[in-house]
Structure 1
Amino acid sequence: MTDEQRAAVVADFRKEHDGREPAYIGATNNRFGLKKIGEAIDPWRTPYGWSISTGPSGLFVIDCDGAEAVEWFREFCEENDIDLSQCPQVKTQSGGWHIYFADDAASPTRTAAGLKRWKSDDGKRIAGIDLRAAGGQTVAPNTLLTDGREYAAIEGTADLATAYASKSIPLVPQVLREWVGANRSKATTDVDDIEIAKLRAEVDGAPIPSFDEIVTPIGDLDFEAALSENARLRAAWESDVDGDHSAARMALANHLAMAFPGELTAAQYAAFLSEFEGAGTFDPEKRKRPAEAQKGRYDTRDIAREFAKAQMNYYAQHAPSDGSAFTAIEGEDGADQSASPKKAGVKSLIEFCAEYTPVEFLLDGVIERAKLYTMTAPTGAGKTTMLASLALAVAAGRDDVFGRETPQGRVLYCSFENPDDFRVKLMAAAEAHRIELGAINANFNILDVLRDPKALCKNAERSGPYALAIIDTLQAAFQGDDSNSNDQVKKFAQGIHPITLLEGRPSVIMAAHPVKGADKDKLVPYGGGALLNYVDGNYTLWKPQSSNVATLHYQGKFRGSTFSPISLDISGFESSLLDAKGRRRWLPVARIMDNEAAASARAREERDALSVDARWLHAISRAPEATQDVLSQTMGVSRPAAQRRLSKLKEQGLLALMDGKRVLTDAGRQKLAEAETAAKRTFEAVPEEDDAHL
C-alpha cells in the first residue's frame, strides 16, 4: 500500500467514524485469511476493527488457541528461558493468547497453522498453536466482535502500537524459531466450511470439463510446460500411489496451485483428478456408503476441501500480504494518536453510562425504534397480512389494531416479492380496521421496484423521514448469487442497516422465509448464518396450516425488551373488493386476539384436527391395502392432499408401512379409539327426535 493509498484509507475511516483516528492499518490479497475476520467484526456497531498484516510489518506472532495451548507455551518459554515481559500480548476473544515478536530474518518466516494440536475430550474442538508471519493476518488489539467479545491487550504488558513505533518489540528467540521450523511439517490448514460449500456448489452446478478442454492447445493451462518446469508437480502426477489416494490428491492439488497461481478453478482441479491415476474412484454416493467402502473413493466435497486447502497453502507460502504495516497515525495537532487510550475507545464509567439513551418503541414493548429485525414465517403463515396491518397501524397511529400504544409515523413498505398480493391485502386490512386510505396517504409510501441496498437507502433518505420501513421479503430483495453465503448475506444486511440511522430513527423489518422444512421451533431466516448474528432480533410468526390463530413472538436472537407471545386472528374478511365477475372477495386480515379467545380457538381447532385424523385412521384400518389414489377418492380430497395427510400421520408415529400395507401403530390405534369414544359421548349427549315430529 502506497502512502497515497494509506492516506485515502485513513480519510475514509475518519469520515465514516466521526473523526476517529485508526490505530492500525492492514490489507491482504488472501481472501481465505480475511474471511473469518471480516465475518466477526461488525463495522456498524464498533468504531474500529483492523487486521494487522504481519508480514510487511515484520511481526512474528504466536497464536495460542485454547487453555491447553496457552499452558503448554508458558511452560515452553520457562524451560527455554524466553522472556516475554517486553512482548506485547493480547487475550483473544476465545480466551487464547497472542504474543508479538519482531522478525529480523533475511528471508521472512512464513505463516504456519497447526504447529501443535490438542483435541477436546469429545473430539470436536481443536486447540493449538499457530504462527502469524509473512503471508498472514492477525486481529488487532481492542477489536470488538458482534457478540461483545474483545481482543484485549493484557494488562501490564507492552502496548503494541507504542512498542512498534519505538521499535522495542523483542526479536524472535532462536530457540523459538527452531521449534517453528521443526514443527512446520506437521502444520495443517484449516478451511472455512462456508468456503467449502461455495466451492462444492461451483463443482456441482456445472458439468466438470474434460482434461483435454482445460489444457493447451484447446484450454488455458499449459500443463506440459508446468510438468517440464516443476519437478515436484511431475513427481506428484507420476507417483505410484499405494493405497493413500487422499494424500496423493492433496499433493497434486498443492503443486497445481503453485504451478497455476490464481488461475486454477475447483472444476478444473476436478478435471485433473479425472486423469490422475492416483486419485482413486470418483463416487458421488461416497458419503452414503459404509466407512470401509469409502476407501479409495472421492466426491465433490473432497474436491472442494482439497482445492481450498491448496489455495490457502499457496497464499500462506507465496502470496504475502500486499498491505502496509500498521502505523501510528498523527492527528491534526501532530500528536501520536496510537498510544492514546481515549483514541482506542476507552471511556470512564461515568462517560460510558452518560451515553444511555431511553428506549423508544414503535409498537409498545415489542418493536424498538432504530433497530434492524427479521420476521421469519413459513409461506402461508401470514407475514404480509400481519405486516400490512402493522404498517396501517403506524401510519394511522391506531393503538387498537395490536392492542398496544402505536405512535403515528410515516411508513415505507418495500413490496418486492408480490406487489399485487400486497395491494389487495393492504386494501382489505384498511377496510377491516376502518382506516381511510386518503387520511393516511401522506404517511404511507410504497416501493415496488427492486433496488439494491445502496439505492434503497438513498430512496429512504430522500423520501423520509420514516418511523417504519418494511422489506417484503428479504429473499426477494437479496441480489447476490448465493443466499447461503455468510459473506454475501451479511453484506446485504449491512447495506440495509443505515436506514435505521436516518432521520426519524425508523425500525426496519425484513420479512424472511425460514430454512427448508422448518417447524415452529426452527424459525430462523433462510440464508447465511451471519445474518441472524447481525440483526437486532428475529420475530417469528407461526400458524398451523389448518388454523386461523397465528402467534407472533421471537426466536434465535433478540436484543432488547422481551415480550410474551401475541395471538393474532388471521381469518377471511369479506371485503368490498370485487373479482371480474362482480363477486366480493374474501381476503385474510390480521386482528389481535386476547389470550382467552386464542386458547378457545386453538382448542376447537385441535378437536377438529383430531376428528379429521380419526377419519383417516379409520379408513386405513378398514382397507390397509388401499392405494393413495383410492384413499384420496374415499376421503374426498386431491391426491397431493392425501399424500400430505399420510406423510403427517407417519411423521406423528400413527401410521407405518409393513409388507406393502399401511398399518396403524399402537399410538395410531389408541388415538382412533380415543376419537371414537369421544364421538360416541358426543352423539349420546344429543337428544333423540320425537317420532311425532318425523
Structure 2
Amino acid sequence: MYRACGLQVIPCFAPSEVTKGGSWKRPKLSEWAEFQGDLVPDAVFARWYGAAGEHAARDNMGMLTGRASGNVFVIDLDDQKGPAADNWWRGVLAVENNGIEPETCRQQTGGGGRQLLFRARPDWQAPTNRTPVGVDIRGQGGFAVLPASLHESGRRYRWVPGCAPYEIEIALAPEWLLVAVDALVAQHGGDKGGGTRREQTVPSGGDYDAFGHQRDGREWKMTRLIYAAVIDWYRECPIRPGEAEERAKALEKYLIYESLVVSRLTDPRKTKAELLEEEGRGWTLFWQKWQALMRKWEGRVAERARKPKPPPFGFEPLPEESKLDIGQPLPLLLSAEQFVAGFSPPAYLVDGVLQCGYLYSLTARTGHGKTAVAMYVAQAIARGVPMHGNEVKEGTVLLLAGENPDDIRARFLVLADAYDFKAEDLKMRFVDGVIDIAAKMPEIRAEAAKIGDLVLVIVDTGAAYFPGDETNSNSQQGAYARLLRQLTFLPGKPAVLVNCHPVKNALRDNLLPMGGSAFLNEVDGNLTLWASAERQTTLHWQGKFRGPEFEPMTFELDIADSARVTDAAGRLMPSVVAKPVSELKLQMEEGKQESEENMLLRAVATNRNSSIANLAISCGFVGATGKPQKSKVFAICSRLVDEKLLERRGNKYRITPKGKREIGWKDDNE
C-alpha cells in the first residue's frame, strides 16, 4: 500500500536488533543513501516484501523521505518531550492558517510523538533538520519509521484514524508551510542542500538485483574483500611481495569483486567495469584501497594476521579501517612482467576435462542422457573413483534438483545399486526443488563453508532455475550465467555444471544452450551429449571450451532398477544409468552400427514403399519370438534422417542422394 502511494519503503531495524543504547530508527541496509533518488525497481521491492521476501510483515519498516518518495517530507513533533514543539506548530498555524490543522496523513509514533506528511512542490528541496525545540524535519536524506513497526516502548506506530495514506491524500504543502520550514532551518541549521548526505549503517547483507549481484553496500563489500585477501596473503608469507605480484593479486581479487556487484548506471554501450568506474566503485577505488592497506603491511595487517583466522566470509574490518588514506594509484597499464605474474596453473576436478572454479553447460536433447551422465560424474567425484578412466579430485557434490526432484531420487537410488555403493553414505548434498539462487546465495555460501570440501555443483536444469521472463533475451541470459558463476566462488572453488536444453530443432552440429547467445559467451565450456547408437551417447564439447582438447567419451545408457524404487503397486520402476564404454567395445559397436545402417539404407533403396515391419524383416532385425524389431528400425532411421542419409515422407522413408553415395550407389540424377 505504501509503495502504491509512491513512498520509498525499505526495511528498518527493530529495537531488539541493536545493542543497548544504539539507535534502531535507521534503515536495515548499508549505504541506504543510494536509494534516495527514485523508487527501487519492482524486482528489488519484491525480494524485500514479496510472497517469499527477505523481510516478513512482522519486521519493522520505514520510508526514505525526499525525492525517492515524490518529494514527501515529514514534520516530526516530539510533544512528549515538552511543550516547545507543540508551541511552534500551533504558532505557525495561528499566524498562517487560522489555527486549523491541514488535512494530511498523520501518525502517532511509538514513543508518543506525532508526525505529519506533506508533499512539496518539485522545485523545493526538502531539508533534513533536527532542532533543540523538539521539531525535526525529515526531507532529502531523511528516514521515518512507518506503522505498524514496533517501538522500544512495546507500542506500535499507528496512523491517526482517518489519516492513513489509504484514507486520505498526502497534502501538497502550502507555500506558508515551506516558508516556515525554511525559517526553522535558517534558525537551527540543517541539510538544506539535501544531495550530499551519505549516511551509513551497520551492513545487513546489502541489496541484490534479480541475478544476485550486490547493488547496495558495494564499497563495504570491496573493503571486506580487500582486507580478507591481504591478511590471508600475509598469513601465507609475511614477506611483503613485489609491486608486480601485488598488482596481479589485486587484479585477481578485483575481478571477483566485479563479478559480485552491479552498477546502478545503465548504458548498453559501456561495460560493467566502465559503469562501476563512473560511479566511483570500480578499479580505481579498489586499487587505491588495496595500496593503502599494503602500506600497513608491517603494522595493522601484521597485527590482524596474527589473530585467529575468522570463519569463511565472516571477516569484518573495523569501522575506522574503511576510511583508508588511499594516496595515489599506480598506472593502469601493466608491464609484461606485471601481467604474466597473475598466471595461475589450472587445477583439474576431472583430469583433462573439468577445471575447478569453471562454469560449464552440458547441452543435450531430451533422451540423450544428460541427467544420467551428470549423475555418473557426481558419483565418481563423490567416491573418488576415475571418471571414464580420468582421475578426479574427490570431494562433496551439490546437486540442485529443480526440474524433477522425484526423478532424481529414483535415479540416485538406482545408480547406487548399479555402482554398488550406499546412497546414504555418498558425499552429496541436494537442493529439493526450485529456489531463488540469488536470494538464497548467502545461505548457500554459509552452508558450503561448513561442508569444507565442496568441489562440484550440478544444476538440473538451467531452465528450471532461470529467474527471468524471456529465455531468448541476451541480457537476461548473460546475467543468469553470471549469477551461476557466483557458485564457482563458493568455499572450495567448485566447478559448476549446468544441464541445459538445446536450441530448437538442434542436431548434432548445433548443440548450443537454449536462449540468448550471451549465456554461451559467459560459460567456460559447453559440453554436449549426442546419442548416435542404441543406448549409447557421446560426451564432447561444442561452441566453446577453455582448456586443452579431450577425446570424446562414450557411455552406454543402461536400463537398471532397484528394489528400493517401486510404484504404489510394488512393481519395479526401471531408470537409466550411464556406464562408460571401453574403446574396444566402442570399435566393435561402431562396426556393428555401420553395418546395420548400411543394411537398412540398401533395404530402403531397394524397397521404396516398404513399411517399418517389412524393413526389419528384410534386414533380419527380428526378436527371439520372430516378431520384427520395429523400434530398432525406427531408431536407426531417425539417426539416418539426422545425418541426411534418409528423408521421411509420411510414414515411409526414402534414401537421399547422400545416402546412395554412402552405400556406393549412383544417384539417379547423375
Q: Shorter-normalised TM-score: what interval?
A: 0.3 to 0.5
Larger relative contact order (Cα-Cα within 8 Å, sequence gap ≥ 6) = 1
* Structure with the bigger percentage of helix: 1
Please report the TM-score for the alignment, with normalisation by the length of structure 1.
0.46
